[in-house]
Chains A and B, each alone.
Chain A
Amino acid sequence: MAAVTFNNISKRYKDGPKAVDDLNLEIADGEFMVLVGPSGCGKSTALRMIAGLEEISDGELRIGERVVNEVPPGDRDIAMVFQNYALYPHMTVRQNIGFALEVAKVRKDEINRRVEDAAEMLGLTEYLDRLPKALSGGQRQRVAMGRAIVRSPQVFLMDEPLSNLDAKLRVQMRSDIIQLQARLGTTMVYVTHDQVEAMTMGHRVAVMRKGVLQQVAPPQELYLRPANLFVAAFIGSPAMNLITADVTIEGDDVFVSFGGHRLRISAKALDRYPGLRERNGTKVIFGLRPEHFAMEEDLEVGDDQVLTVRCDLAEAMGAEVHIHAVVDVPPPAVDGAPIAAEDDPEALVAGTKVIARVDGIHTIAMGQDVRLAVKTHLTHFFDPASGAPLR
């Protein structure tokens, strides 16, 4: 087992911008690190550089103490699980799992023992003599895992290993992988674009955007203290509501106003975002997670902390209701982040879309005016130009 260290790593493909730009990241020995980001942000490229499948244009990559920039993939002592599993179609499960050992000229009985141990661990024992084409998707996925663990490598690399499975199996495999990694204690670098996987699986999550690392933090911190507007917008589902708002300070009270609405911000938020105090009379980006709303009757707040909006769409999810509404202010541009406006071009014109998540006991009709209490003490504030948090 070993740590993986990126020192100013860059990757430039022949014709194009940098796929990975000056990446500094330390993945500790035994850590489960998740790389997440929108499509094309360079997650796979970073992973493939660890594997040695892509050349490193610039910088220094270490696995353990060893600089591996020039070390061929086979000598890096790492194992990778590909999105499409990349099993050898002409080999049985046993041969697939044992191939690396066979190449390494391990003794036959030793190979058999280790293959059978790995198969046992993954529940593949009865399929050992089948060909991959006679396996289900989930079983193939396990074979790919088996191929990785049988070698007891220094580092596991996984590139969206669950994206080809159906939802139920994905949940199952997710916990299996977490447990497996915990048991083996092997360093893991896991690429995904799935919010849930990112939040639930990793010890830490690295968020990337256009090849640039945005934030590395434990999942909860990422959620609660996003390092910038992009991370705030990217992490969480439904995404954080980001609204361009004017700040006014009257005495000790700070108010934000947008599209005819005005909210008093609790002092607790000001403790977390002291920078807001210096923004009197300027525009900021005001961030509200959907769960920071509640129906007025569920939450006791002052009148100046209630937002009245017209419900455009109410999605009853059982435990909760998602209320979609629009506030009359142009949406902020968050480059590359999947904000609500992105999949709904009309919203760009009409105003900023807001999603509120309220308790499921409420029945809300479309077109109805709803009064939403806002937990202003939990809100976030960012600089509209740089996207930096106003801490």
Chain B
Amino acid sequence: MSVRRKGPKATAIRVATYVLLVCVAVVVVFPFAVAVTTAFKRNTDIFTYPPSLVPKKEATIPAADVGLEGDPVPVYSFPDRDDRPGQWALVDGDASLAEFRPLDDLERVIVLDVKAGEKTGETISIDGEEEDVYLVDDGGAQVEAYRSRLTSGGLFVSVDDPSTSVLDLVNFATPAREFGPRFSNFTEVLAEKDPETNGKGVGRSLTNTVLVTILVVLGQIITSILGGYAFARVQFKGRSTIFLMYLGSVMIPFVVLIIPLFQLMLQVNWRDNLVALIIPFAFTAYGTFLMRQFFLGIPAEIEEAALLDGASRSTILWKVMVPLARPAIATLATFGFLYAWNSFFWPLVIINSGNPDNAVLSLTLSTLGGRSSTDTNLVFAGTVLAMTPPILVFLFAQRYFVENSASSGLK
């Protein structure tokens, strides 16, 4: 590590720098974090208020915990009579209930079992109607109340203490929520296209994209190595002219090439065919240039030494030059990968939109976002699937970007 400035002023500057960098990092990372977490959410969970980055599901506990059999029991959260927050398992969603209102406070509602309370025999007139007066239990105290309504509600058992139970209206209670990523987002979005199973057919596109990308990258690496080596080290007539033309083709924007290329693909009958996504992109002038420059930078003596060791041109290329060119190849592969993986416009042009068999990821995702935008979670799951490989490739390749070992065999 280099020598650092010291002193309070330098420290302040450094702290400020880090704070600024962290702020920028947060701003940059936030949308990414939203995309990733949304990919694990239930659709109902996406637009809740307050918004949350954590995917949640409605909480349940196993039925056995509350002395029942069968499906897990949903959990609700509301305060008990003493206003303490608590978690309640709904053991019976269809209990018959009665609502009582104490005579001294007609606004208050006491929900009890329909059979609860004893008639005192008295009656009272409420809004011009005669009602029986009951003596009901209100948290231990006996109060006089009248029965305002019969309804059905839920029988809740405390999660912490199954002997305590409470009757309440289910729709007044808020379901408890707990951490619960929904992994089936991914299986659904990958599954074959089918409205029944909610499958989106991304799996097929993913396979196509992987195939196309691997072949494009391999093609680019091989052609760039061969071309770059020839341009760097093999003497042949017209070498510099050809190289200049090759390099000049980098200047032509792709949009200009779309129509001629489309015509060409029609001629060779590759329309709506994955080959059209591979062959035209298996050559890259930029990659050839990159490899040529790298090969030029490798000292000629290393090659001459190999020549004296009896190695043929191809041995020299594959056993000496290519291993030395790993950083350049990693760079080339990364760019080729990103290009092929993300390419959208050309597939849109050449692949029939109605043909899910030949669609690639970028196409499928664009339709996924457009047509079934109700399945926001699935769109994001597809997005996450699409962006994971480039990130992995980048992480894997980045250590090669800075490394250049070609000169370390000298001196």
- Give the Cβ gap from A206 to chain B, nearest Cβ, in Å: 22
- Give the Cβ gap from A217 to chain B, nearest Cβ, in Å: 29
B306 touches A88 (CB 8 A): yes
A366 contacts partner chain B, Cβ-Cβ < 8 Å: no
* In-complex Cβ contact of A73 among B307, B326, B410 (8 A): B307
Question: Chain A 104-121, CB within 8 Å of chain B: the 1/0 string?
Answer: 100000000000000000
Q: Please give the residue numbers on chain A whose beta carbons come within 8 Å of chain B beta carbons, in ascending order.
A: 51-53, 72-75, 78-80, 82, 84-90, 99-100, 103-104, 131-133, 137, 140, 147, 151, 164
User: Does more than half of chain B's interface fall in helix, strand or loop, or is it mixed?
Assistant: helix
Q: Please give the residue numbers on chain B whose beta carbons come within 8 Å of chain A beta carbons, in ascending order.
A: 299, 301-302, 304-312, 315, 320, 323-324, 326, 405-411
Give Cα distance in the complex from A175 to B384, angstroms. Answer: 67
> Who on chain B is nearest to A164 by CB?
B411
* In-complex Cβ contact of A82 among B301, B323, B406, B408 (8 A): B301
Instruction: Find chain B residues with CB under 8 A from A90 CB.
Output: 323-324, 326, 405
- Give the Cβ gap from B93 to chain A, nearest Cβ, in Å: 71
List, sorted by A's number, 6 A–B pairs whose CB atoms are closer than 8 Å: A74-B307, A74-B308, A75-B310, A89-B324, A90-B324, A140-B409
Give Cα distance in the complex from A111 to B152, angstroms. Answer: 90
A89 touches B407 (CB 8 A): yes
A88 touches B409 (CB 8 A): yes
Instruction: Find chain B residues with CB under 8 A from A82 CB.
Output: 301, 304-305
B406 touches A89 (CB 8 A): yes
Give Cα distance in the complex from A98 to B308, angstroms. Answer: 13
6 further A-B contacts with Cβ under 8 Å, apart from A53-B304, A73-B304, are A74-B308, A74-B309, A86-B302, A100-B308, A147-B305, A151-B309
A103 touches B315 (CB 8 A): yes
* In-complex Cβ contact of A85 among B304, B306, B309, B411 (8 A): B411
**Centre residue among A72, A90, A164 by max chain B CB count within 10 A:** A90
A84 touches B411 (CB 8 A): yes
> Who on chain B is nearest to A75 by CB?
B310
- Give the Cβ gap from A284 to chain B, nearest Cβ, in Å: 46
A79 touches B315 (CB 8 A): no
B309 touches A147 (CB 8 A): yes
B320 touches A73 (CB 8 A): no
B302 touches A88 (CB 8 A): yes
* In-complex Cβ contact of B311 among A74, A80, A132, A151 (8 A): A74
Instruction: Find chain A residues with CB under 8 A from B326 CB.
Output: 90
**Centre residue among A74, A78, A86 by max chain B CB count within 10 A:** A86
With contacts A88-B320, A90-B323 taken as known, whether A103 is within 8 angstroms of B410 at the C-beta atoms is: no
With contacts A53-B307, A73-B308, A103-B311 taken as known, whether A86 is within 8 angstroms of B299 at the C-beta atoms is: yes
Give Cα distance in the complex from A89 to B405, angstroms. Answer: 7
> Who on chain B is nearest to A153 by CB?
B308
- Give the Cβ gap from B153 to chain A, nearest Cβ, in Å: 76
Instruction: Find chain B residues with CB under 8 A from A164 CB.
Output: 411
Instruction: Find chain A residues with CB under 8 A from B410 CB.
Output: 84-87, 89
Instruction: Find chain A residues with CB under 8 A from B324 CB.
Output: 88-90
Instruction: Find chain A residues with CB under 8 A from B302 CB.
Output: 86-89
Give Cα distance in the complex from A1 to B299, angstroms. Answer: 30
Give Cα distance in the complex from A100 to B323, angstroms. Answer: 17
B408 touches A132 (CB 8 A): yes
Closest 3 A/B residue pairs (Cβ): A89-B409, A86-B301, A74-B310
Instruction: Find chain B residues with CB under 8 A from A78 CB.
Output: 308
* In-complex Cβ contact of B409 among A79, A103, A133 (8 A): A133
With contacts A90-B323, A90-B405, A132-B409 taken as known, whether A84 is within 8 angstroms of B308 at the C-beta atoms is: no
Instruction: Find chain B residues with CB under 8 A from A52 CB.
Output: 307-308
**Centre residue among B306, B310, B405 by max chain A CB count within 10 A:** B310
B301 touches A99 (CB 8 A): no
* In-complex Cβ contact of A104 among B299, B307, B310, B323 (8 A): B310
Give Cα distance in the complex from A286 to B114, angstroms. Answer: 138
Instruction: Find chain A residues with CB under 8 A from B304 CB.
Output: 51, 53, 73, 80, 82, 86
Instruction: Find chain A residues with CB under 8 A from B312 CB.
Output: 74
Give Cα distance in the complex from A27 to B312, angstroms. Answer: 29
Give Cα distance in the complex from A147 to B309, angstroms. Answer: 9
Instruction: Find chain B residues with CB under 8 A from A53 CB.
Output: 304, 307-308
- Give the Cβ gap from A192 to chain B, nearest Cβ, in Å: 17
Instruction: Find chain B residues with CB under 8 A from A147 CB.
Output: 305, 309
- Give the Cβ gap from B312 to chain A, nearest Cβ, in Å: 8
Give Cα distance in the complex from A100 to B299, angstroms. Answer: 19
* In-complex Cβ contact of B408 among A51, A79, A103, A133 (8 A): A133
* In-complex Cβ contact of B308 among A51, A131, A132, A137 (8 A): A51
Instruction: Find chain B residues with CB under 8 A from A133 CB.
Output: 405, 408-409
Give Cα distance in the complex from A103 to B326, angstroms. Answer: 22
- Give the Cβ gap from B297 to chain A, nearest Cβ, in Å: 12
With contacts A86-B301, A89-B405 taken as known, whether A79 is within 8 angstroms of B411 at the C-beta atoms is: no
With contacts A53-B304, A103-B315 taken as known, whether A86 is within 8 angstroms of B409 at the C-beta atoms is: yes
**Centre residue among A53, A89, A104 by max chain B CB count within 10 A:** A89
Instruction: Find chain B residues with CB under 8 A from A72 CB.
Output: 307
> Who on chain B is nearest to A74 by CB?
B310
Instruction: Find chain A residues with CB under 8 A from B406 CB.
Output: 89
Give Cα distance in the complex from A90 to B309, angstroms. Answer: 16
Give Cα distance in the complex from A103 to B308, angstroms. Answer: 11
**Centre residue among A88, A147, A164 by max chain B CB count within 10 A:** A88
Instruction: Find chain B residues with CB under 8 A from A132 CB.
Output: 408-409
- Give the Cβ gap from A92 to chain B, nearest Cβ, in Å: 11
- Give the Cβ gap from A154 to chain B, nearest Cβ, in Å: 12
With contacts A89-B407, A89-B409 taken as known, whether A84 is within 8 angstroms of B310 at the C-beta atoms is: no
Give Cα distance in the complex from A51 to B306, angstroms. Answer: 12
B408 touches A80 (CB 8 A): no
- Give the Cβ gap from B239 to chain A, nearest Cβ, in Å: 15
A87 touches B308 (CB 8 A): no
Give Cα distance in the complex from A132 to B409, angstroms. Answer: 6
> Who on chain B is nearest to A51 by CB?
B308
- Give the Cβ gap from B221 to chain A, nearest Cβ, in Å: 17
With contacts A86-B301, A86-B304 taken as known, whether A137 is within 8 angstroms of B411 at the C-beta atoms is: yes
